[in-house]
A and B are shown apart, each in its own frame.
Chain A
Amino acid sequence: MSARLVTITAALMTLAGYALHASPSEARAPSLDDAAGRYDISASSQINFTVGQVGGGGISGKFAKFSGTFQLDGRDIRKSVVEFALFPEAVQTGESRIEDFLRSSAVFDSANHPKIVFRSTKITQTGDDTARIEGKLTAKGTTRTEHFDAKLTKWNRRNISFHIQGGVYRTRYNMSVGTPIYSNIVQFDMIVNGQKH
């Protein structure tokens, strides 16, 4: 752990303490000056996913095109907001036929639904450097509540990185093709790098 990470972790813990226990008038926590702010999700982020298959193995891939921002609230982590969009057209699996299938009406239907959007609705701190992000995920015309677990992995004055994981039931989004050969759960494993405005 870098000295800065320790610093931010300590600051987040302090904030959480204030947020949970202090009365509103006392909520003037020491502002998290360095980390608070608005970030763009940079292209260096990695949006990886896997879908397991019966008998072991499965499909692994990533989304090469995405965009998003997040606003870290220095006073109250719960007031932080994440907005994220990915473009399923840019799905990569190493097998062009699988990619074509994923883009088709069978799965993403990227011609009619070019964007998959996530907007956080609730962020809860779950540990020193971890949080649970709950939000609305819209894909293929369907919006559902999903949650992801985030862990702060890197931080400096300009950049911040989170390791974010979560599973999404694809049947909820009218993408049930291939079950039960392929798992209903799409497991996301993402490195989200934010660049400060």
Chain B
Amino acid sequence: MLRNGADAFGWVTIVLHWTIAVLIAGLLVLGYIMTRPDIDPVLQFNLFQWHKSFGFTALALSAIRIVWWLAGKHPAPVAGLSALEKQASSAVHILLACLTLAVPVTGWALASASTLDIPSFFFDLVVIPHLPLEKSAVAEASWATAHAIFAYSLGALAILHAGAAFHHHFIRHDAVLVRMLRGSRRDG
């Protein structure tokens, strides 16, 4: 089923979840490599452009993911979770969702405030305009710091999130991980 059920995720949620997960992992690696000081300048330029295109893709999918989350129903937590675990889980999910927006938006702001003024040419198809921000070295540095802090926080939180999923799967043997891999069989 496409929509979420009472105790299972629909395919839309599952596909968005894993696509965004792969994008985040890839963008983190890309972001790290492209900012190494000794990188070949041509490779660096090209990696930055790929990073921006995939980053805008992540932003769009994350926005859809959040709208889908808020508009649809959310499956009930698996049985056996304590109140504290439920609160922690929901806090991490909300924070993850916020960061999936904050990271690309600060990246967009960084590209917009940069005195390099390099256009964001989404996969060489369409120009995504810069945000109306002041262009200066100081503004660029501030956005770069925010982008990096949010990005590495998102990475750390995603590791925590994945660790929890593995804990549920391998230690507690519940359906937390599995239900994000398999679609609901019935419309709840």
Q: Inside 8 A of A180's CB, which chain B residues have their CB?
A: 121, 124
A57 at the interface (CB under 8 A from B): yes
B119 touches A181 (CB 8 A): yes
> Number of B residues contacting the other chain (C-beta, 8 Å)?
15
Query: Which of the segments B22-30, B39-47, B73-81 contacts the partner chain?
Result: B39-47
A105 touches B121 (CB 8 A): no
Query: Which of the segments B7-15, B110-118, B173-181 contacts the partner chain?
Result: B110-118
A105 touches B116 (CB 8 A): no
Query: Which A residues from 26 to 80 make CB contacts under 8 A with B?
Result: 53-55, 57
B127 at the interface (CB under 8 A from A): yes
A21 at the interface (CB under 8 A from B): no
Q: Please, how many angstroms separate the alpha-carbon atoms of A98 and B118 in the complex?
A: 10
Q: Inside 8 A of A57's CB, which chain B residues have their CB?
A: 117
Given A95-B115, A95-B116, A106-B45, A54 contacting B40 (CB threshold 8 A): no
Given A54-B127, A55-B127, A181-B49, A105 contacting B42 (CB threshold 8 A): yes
Binding site for B on A (CB under 8 A): 53-55, 57, 95, 97-98, 101, 104-106, 177-178, 180-181
B115 touches A106 (CB 8 A): no
Interface string of B115-144 (1 = CB under 8 A from A): 111110100100101000000000000000
Query: Which B residues from 44 to 79 make CB contacts under 8 A with A?
Result: 45-46, 49
- The smallest beta-carbon distance between B52 and chain A, in angstroms, is 10
Q: Please, how many angstroms separate the alpha-carbon atoms of A144 and B46 in the complex?
A: 27
Q: Please, how many angstroms separate the alpha-carbon atoms of A43 and B101 in the complex?
A: 52
